[in-house]
Structure 1
Amino acid sequence: MTDPVQQNKESFVSHLVELRNRLLWASGAVLVVFICLVPFASTIYSWFAEPLLRSLPDGGNMIAVDPHGTFFIPFKLAFAASFAICVPWVLYQIWAFVAPGLYRNEKRIVLPLIVSSTVLFYLGVLFAYFVVFPLIFEFFAKMTPEGVALTPDIGSYMSFALSLFFAFGIAFEVPVAIVLLTRMGVISAEGVAKQRPYFILGAFVIGMLMTPPDPFSQVMLAVPVCLLFEIGLLFARRLEKRQAETASEEA
């Protein structure tokens, strides 16, 4: 007769081994991409800093406060870019680890959610780079006091830009969050619809906090988030309708 304690112990160890293997696959992919990007680290940083450099006065440049900044900052950015590129693979490893414990209907929704959340995150980053950054840095350049030279530090710029990338990427996850919470039964589509005025107000408050204090920049963040809210609400209603039809058929 099999010992239940021993069986549980073996199952736990097998899960740990599986988790270790998934982490190794994810980390290995990031490392391989990083090694490939290292020769282009300076080029990547130049592209990364382009929105800020365009807003500087003629002859303006960025500076490196730390002596080692010109060496390490591009490599840090290359590593961040490597992780961003490998996000789909990392999410797949997470999904592959939890998939054996999911029901068939749960598996059908998890993979589309991973794909859609990855695409929306990338869209948020691209929106920040091509739309928000030019507005923000142009505003900062115009607000520079007379007699003050605008010479940003490359390390400070990287931290500021990456934090905005992350913020906009997360903000663009609104449809995925609404659909997922609806699928879990935490919220309902009608309940979300009733909270629309508060969400719109919150979107503009977040836009005010994350962008310079000019109405145009705030609108550039708030409007896409509100549109994504409506898209998420649309899919949540379709999901609830499909669940109701399935329940009626089973009954």
Structure 2
Amino acid sequence: MWAVGGFFIAFLISFYFAKPLFNFLVQPFRWAVEWAGLDNRQIELIYTAPQEFFFTQLKIAMFGGFVLAFPLIAAQIWKFVAPGLYKNERSAFLPFLMASPVLFLCGAALVYFFTMPMVMWFFLSQEQMGTAAQVEISLLPKVSEYLSLCMTLIFAFGLVFQLPVATTLMARVGMVTSQGLKDKRKYAIVLAFVAAAILTPPDPISQIGLALPTILLYEIAIFMARRVERPPAQSEEAEG
């Protein structure tokens, strides 16, 4: 009830600031226009249905409400789970619970400051100037589709940035080992590109932009697994 109430209040606050938040998300589009050398271009987004921008603001409010209310939601989940854990389990699990939102924000920051401007720059490069022999083709994004692109990339990168947390937890409980992760590195590289093709729009910039950090995070996961995994002797003693 506390989590739902906190989300509802955060939703109302986010809905009140929905338009400034949307303008904040449009900033990568502005950077892409500058990178493309279109300084005189007016930044314009459209909506083609009367209710489209209203529902776009609702989506922004839901996303912003969840982000604002996440500390309260996580605290309530922790209060529910913690009494069922041993003291050493609580001390081991809590740092990962705190690291998870930090890594998600790192992924979102990468999208906002690098990936999204590069993606929009790529789409702007597809425009066609009007001449006597060809028609003019200009990019006029819809507000709903632009927001959908932003949220898709943010969720994709935020999810991938949880890889070190997930593998470190599995290594701590003995489900995976650093050597096992090393042996499967070539399969992980292939899966990184497959996942990037599924989770991102069908353009090479966003797909490569997600695959390369995924491979880097996999290497970090191997390093973290090596740090936290128990030596074989300790594992055999614990099993005994």
Smaller-chain TM-score range?
0.7 to 0.9
Q: CA deviation at 1:219?
A: 4.1
Larger deviation, residues 158-167 vs 170-179? 158-167
| Equivalent residues of 1:139, 1:212 under 8 A apart | no
Q: Tell me how far apart the structure 2 counterparts of residues 53 and 250 of structure 1 sit (CA, whole Å).
A: 58
Whether 2:162 is the aligned partner of 1:179: answer no
Amino acid at match of 2:137: V
Amino acid at match of 1:52: F
Q: Tell me how far apart the structure 1 counterparts of residues 101 and 119 of structure 2 sit (CA, whole Å).
A: 25
- Alignment correspondent of 2:74: 91
Whether 2:11 is the aligned partner of 1:28: answer no
- Alignment correspondent of 1:68: 51
Gaps of 5+ in 1: 1-23
Alignment of structure 1 residues 197-216 onto 2, 5 Å: 197-209=186-198, 210=200, 213-214=203-204
Amino acid at match of 1:106: E
- Which of 23, 26, 33 lines up with 1:49 in the alignment? 26
- Which of 84, 90, 115 lines up with 1:132 in the alignment? 115
The verdict on how the C-alpha distance between 1:171 and 1:44 changes in structure 2, with shifts beyond 3 A counting, is same
Give aligned-pair identity as a percent: 34
The verdict on how the C-alpha distance between 1:131 and 1:222 changes in structure 2, with shifts beyond 3 A counting, is same
| Equivalent residues of 1:136, 1:212 under 8 A apart | no
**TM-score, length of structure 1 as denominator length:** 0.79
Alignment of structure 1 residues 162-177 onto 2, 5 Å: 162-177=151-166
* Aligned-partner SS, 1:61: coil
- Alignment correspondent of 1:158: 147
Amino acid at match of 1:88: P
- Alignment correspondent of 1:188: 177
Q: Tell me how far apart the structure 1 counterparts of residues 160 and 172 of structure 2 sit (CA, whole Å).
A: 20
Whether 2:127 is the aligned partner of 1:144: answer yes
Q: Tell me how far apart the structure 1 counterparts of residues 222 and 31 of structure 2 sit (CA, whole Å).
A: 38
* Aligned-partner SS, 1:199: helix
| Equivalent residues of 2:15, 2:60 under 8 A apart | no
More helix as a share of residues: 1
**TM-score, length of structure 2 as denominator length:** 0.83
Alpha-carbon RMSD? 2.6
- Alignment correspondent of 1:39: 16
* Aligned-partner SS, 1:150: coil
The verdict on how the C-alpha distance between 1:129 and 1:31 changes in structure 2, with shifts beyond 3 A counting, is same
- Which of 185, 191, 210 lines up with 1:221 in the alignment? 210
For this pair of structures, how many residues does the alignment match?
227
| Equivalent residues of 1:44, 1:74 under 8 A apart | no
| Equivalent residues of 1:63, 1:153 under 8 A apart | yes
| Equivalent residues of 2:32, 2:118 under 8 A apart | no
Q: CA deviation at 1:246?
A: 8.5
Q: Tell me how far apart the structure 1 counterparts of residues 68 and 60 of structure 2 sit (CA, whole Å).
A: 12
Gaps of 5+ in 2: 130-135
